[in-house]
Every structure is written in C-alpha cells, then in structure tokens.
Structure 1
Amino acid sequence: MPALLERMTGWVWSRPYLLLTFTALFWAGNSIVGRAARDVMPPVALAWWRWALAFLLLLPFAWPHLRRDFATLKTHWRWLLLLGALGIGTFNTLLYTGLQTTTAVNGLLLQSMQPALILMLGALVFGEYVRLPQVIGICLSITGALMIILGGDLSSLLELESNSGDLVICVAVVVWSFYSVLLRKRPAVHPLSFLAATFVIGIVVIAPFYLAEIIDGRLIESSSESWMAIGYVCLFPSLIAYLFF
C-alpha cells in the first residue's frame, strides 16, 4: 500500500496541468464561499481564520522541514515578508472585502484576467519574452472562463453591474499577479517550509485589521454556515491549492 500511494503521489505531482486545474477549481469555490458567507462572517475574520487554521493543519507536516530550512528562510526574510504579505495577507482579505458588495460572478470574471496580467508583469519586471502561443493560450483561457462563468451566454456581460467591490477585487487581482511573478524569488526550501513561513507572515499582517474589525463590533455569527465556510477555505483554496500552485 505505501508503494502504491507513493506511485500515485508521484503520478499526480508529475502532471502540472492537472494540479493547476484543481487549483483553479478550488479558488473558484473560494470566491463563491466568500460571497455566500458575507452575512455570517466578516471578511477580515474569514481571511484570518482561514490562514490560522490552515497553518495549524500544516505545521505537523512542515515542522521537520522548517527546522532544516530555518537558516535559509532567515537569510531570505525580505522576500518571504513580501510574498507572505502579498499572497497571504493582502490578496484574500481584499477579495473577501470586495465580495461583500459585489457578486461571485463579477469576482470570478475579474480574476480570469490574472493570467494576462501575470504575463504582462513578467515581461515588464523580468524582461520575459512573450511568445505567441502564450498569448493564444491566455485568450483561450479567458474565453473558456467567460463561457463557463456566464453559462455560454456572453451577452450576459452587458447585464453585469459594477460597484465598489469590483474596484477592491481589481486591486486584489493586481496584488496576486505581483505575488505570482515574484514567486520565482522564493528561497530554495521545501514547499511546506515556504508555505508555513508565508502563512505565519500573512496571519501577522491580517491581525491588526482583524482586531479593528472586532472593535468595530463586526463579529462572526456562530452558525453551521460560518464554520463550514471556514472549513472549506482553510483546506481547499489554502492548503491544497497553494501547495499545488
């Protein structure tokens, strides 16, 4: 059985397109859950508990690697701080905040623009050469995302209404795109070490805003819906999707 499990794991990890497909699926669910939970879970609370619980679940598996990689992580603390603040602390907090006032459809549509923005930033920041197949692939990806989200009816775009939440999510999309481009600067450590370190940074970055939210009287509603939302976002779009990505 261990040998079979090892072969299955190796098969999965050797197929990046499969991993990225599941990543996109889990992140799409993140927007849907973030919107659905808006009445029972304040946005910053959802972001903080997402990463806090994800870190606790990850720590037993990451601890041996963290101990081994600590010196390298310490040496590259500036890049870790930036990546943790952007990809963990800022992106999802802005996303959940935007979903308070806009729809999940709008949120997903805006996020479908990320591949194009990542490609553009890669060219601007690192001077990467943009190839025609990449452009074609991104166009097909965006078209496919639009067809799925809109149920095949592109005329639905004309019926969408914009609001302040869309602007917040646009900022989140830019933040995530920078995070994706800068990932190449992550230290050469085990993936679990990197995730655990950036999770901690994100938790610390979010904490003051979560405290302000509590002081403002915006508290979590104790219900099955709120805890199911936290359970989903801490497991699938956090632990699993970030590891796949």
Structure 2
Amino acid sequence: MAIHVLAVHRDTVGAEEGPGGSLAAAYSVGVFCWLLSAGVYIAAKWVSPEMPPWALCFWRVLIAWAILMPIVYRHFSAMIALVRARGLELLVIGGIGLAICQGLIFVGLEHADATTAGIIIALIPIITMILARFILAEPMGRWQVIGSILAFLGILVIIVKGNPAALLRLDLNPGELWIVAGAFCFSLYTVLLRRAKFDLNRLALLVLLLGAAVATALPFYLFELASDERAALNASGLLALGYVAIPGGAIMYYLFNRSIEALGAARAGVLLYIQTIFIAVLAYLILGEQLQRYHLEGAALIVAGLLLIILLKSKAGAEMTKA
C-alpha cells in the first residue's frame, strides 16, 4: 500500500531490460507488486474488528525488516556508517513514512471502507507535488494548480459522500480523515527522502527505514497493548499479519525496488494508480463492498486532475525541450 513503498531519491532507469529479461516482464513485476499492496488494505479492513491497528503496523514492519535484513548483508558496513552519520534523520523519515503513515491508515480502516481508502491514496502524488513546491522549491505551473484543486474536490466529494450539507454539519467519517492524514504523511516522507539524498543502495536504505519504522511504531503498540481489549494475535490476526508482513510486506517491497531498477522511479511510480483499481475489485470480491455514486464522482474529479497535471506537464516539458 502506500504504506508500503520506498520513495526513491534517484529517478534514473537502471536498464531497459526488466528482471524477467524484457520491459514487459519489468512492468509485470510492478503490477504484481501493487496487487500485493492492494491486498494489505483488504487484510487490514477484514481483521480490524479483532486486531488493533498499531499491532498490525508494528509486527508488519518488524517481520518485513527481519526478512529483508539478510538480503542486504553486503551493505552492512555502509548502512552502519550512514546510521552513525545521519541516524536521527533516518529515524524521522522512516518513522513518518513507514510507521505513522501505516498506523494512521490502519486506524482509518476501522471506520472507513477499503474502496474509499484506495481512492484517497491515489492523491499521494498530488500531495507530494504540493509539498515539494514548499519544501524543495520545485515549480508548479497553472495547470498543476488547477489539477490539484480538482483532485482535492474529488476527495471532498468522497468524504461528504456527495452531500455538501454534511460538511456544514461536520458530519464526517473520522476514518476517512485518518486516511487523508496517512496519505499526507507518506507524501511528506517522499519529499523528505528526496531532499535527504542518502547515498546508499536502494534496498539497503529501505531496510534502515523499516528499522526506523519499527522503533517509531513500538511506543504506539505498547500503549495499545495496555489500553485496547482486542486480542492482537488471534487466528484471524495471525492470518492477516502473515499476509501484510510477507507477501504484502517484504516481497512487495523487494519487487517494487526491482521494478524501479528496471523502469526508473517515474514509470514505476505511475503504476501506483493501478492499486486503486485492485483495491476496489478485491473489496467487492472479498469484503462485499459496493462502489457508490459518490465514489465514482470523486474518482472522476481526481482522474481529471491527474490528467491535467500529467498530460499538460508533459506537453510543457516537450515544448521547453524543443525551444
């Protein structure tokens, strides 16, 4: 899930040939990665009545960290040097993006449906672009501003369920607001990671950030153990945790990094939008959720905003290149 990926600080394409020997295979890896990520939303929603959100978050990042750590053993010396030099920065960035973000979304899924969460998460690239404007001083053109406004209107339509009067009455679903906050945290993580420019192998950096997420999630988990009456590791919880930590965690992280190596960050990142479709389909098949009219109206505004940003930005870039 967007709870899920390492936003990279290099946007170069490693090789045109993907992990399977072809560009098609590289895209297949990327698509499968987002299918696994979509399943995390379904598992978290399914188990929310039995398993508290921070327990799911803590054990997910801990198990994923433990599985991936041996894979990057060749980079241990560089990892230790980076921790010594910039440990606090790693803790803040990893904590925001891979712990706080996940925890907020899991909390939100206790009250909101997975379909809505998937649509809200599609906002991450737009929020990232806005934060990059203020934090990294990256330029935003007129059409990017208009596209961003359209996308946020789409989210507003979803949050008020197509009824503007709900906003006046402050009759809002708190779960959806938690998910918006989670999307904001992941966007902030992306921008901070881009600014940090850590000089380390991509997968090794992910392992360090997951370690930071473990340290960040632990206090929330311990507080939850003391205050929440739900059993953290009953049968349903173990099944959901097994999925979100291994196929939806370690394997998904690894595949995403492989797709970036083959496709580059820009092309691999665009596949994020496929996740929203996967979530809607899986939520219908597994959770019995239905697409409502306000989902479609809000999604249409978000897609319109994204098209304005992506297509007109590309056109402007092409014109500048010709000039």
Report the TM range for the smaller structure's normalisation.
Answer: 0.7 to 0.9
Q: Contact (CA 8 Å) 1:213, 1:219: kept in 2 or not?
A: no
Equivalent residue letter for 1:196: V
Matched, 1:103 2:107: no
1:106-142 per-position Cα deviation (integer Å, ceiling 9, x unaligned): 2112111111111111122112134689789989xx7
Map 1:44-123 → 2, pairs under 5 A? 44-123=54-133
Equivalent residue letter for 1:182: L
**Cα distance change on mapping 1:164 and 1:107 into 2, 3 Å:** same
**Cα distance change on mapping 1:114 and 1:19 into 2, 3 Å:** farther
Give distance in 2, aligned partners of 1:16 and 1:118: 25
**Cα distance change on mapping 1:203 and 1:166 into 2, 3 Å:** same
Give distance in 1, aligned partners of 2:145 and 2:134: 15
Deviation of 1:28 after TM superposition, in Å, equals 2.3
Aligned length: 227
Unmatched runs of 5 consecutive residues or more in structure 2:
1-16, 258-323
- Counterpart position of 2:318: none
Matched, 1:215 2:226: yes
- Counterpart position of 1:158: 162
Equivalent residue letter for 2:203: L
- Counterpart position of 2:207: 196
Equivalent residue letter for 2:124: Q
Matched, 1:174 2:184: yes
1:177-225 per-position Cα deviation (integer Å, ceiling 9, x unaligned): 10111221141111232122111111111111111111223322421x3
With normalisation by structure 2, the TM-score equals: 0.60
Q: Contact (CA 8 Å) 2:83, 2:90: kept in 1 or not?
A: yes
- Counterpart position of 1:226: 237
Shifted more, 105-114 versus 85-94: the winner is: 105-114
Q: Contact (CA 8 Å) 2:79, 2:208: kept in 1 or not?
A: no
Task: Look up the SS of the partner of 1:9 in the other structure.
Answer: coil
1:54-104 per-position Cα deviation (integer Å, ceiling 9, x unaligned): 111112112221233321332122321121111112010111111111111
Give distance in 1, aligned partners of 2:224 and 2:234: 16
Unmatched runs of 5 consecutive residues or more in structure 1:
1-6, 147-153
Match of 2:138 among 103, 128, 145: 128
Give distance in 1, aligned partners of 2:24 and 2:213: 29
Give distance in 1, aligned partners of 2:34 and 2:43: 14
Give distance in 1, aligned partners of 2:24 and 2:133: 27
Q: Contact (CA 8 Å) 2:50, 2:230: kept in 1 or not?
A: no
**Cα distance change on mapping 1:125 and 1:242 into 2, 3 Å:** farther
Give distance in 2, aligned partners of 1:11 and 1:135: 39
Map 1:129-144 → 2, pairs under 5 A? 129-130=139-140
Equivalent residue letter for 2:127: L
With normalisation by structure 1, the TM-score equals: 0.78
Q: Contact (CA 8 Å) 1:115, 1:138: kept in 2 or not?
A: no
Q: Contact (CA 8 Å) 1:76, 1:187: kept in 2 or not?
A: no
Q: Percent identity?
A: 26
Task: Look up the SS of the partner of 1:76 in the other structure.
Answer: helix
Equivalent residue letter for 2:240: A
- Counterpart position of 1:151: none
1:7-34 per-position Cα deviation (integer Å, ceiling 9, x unaligned): 7627479987656544443332221211
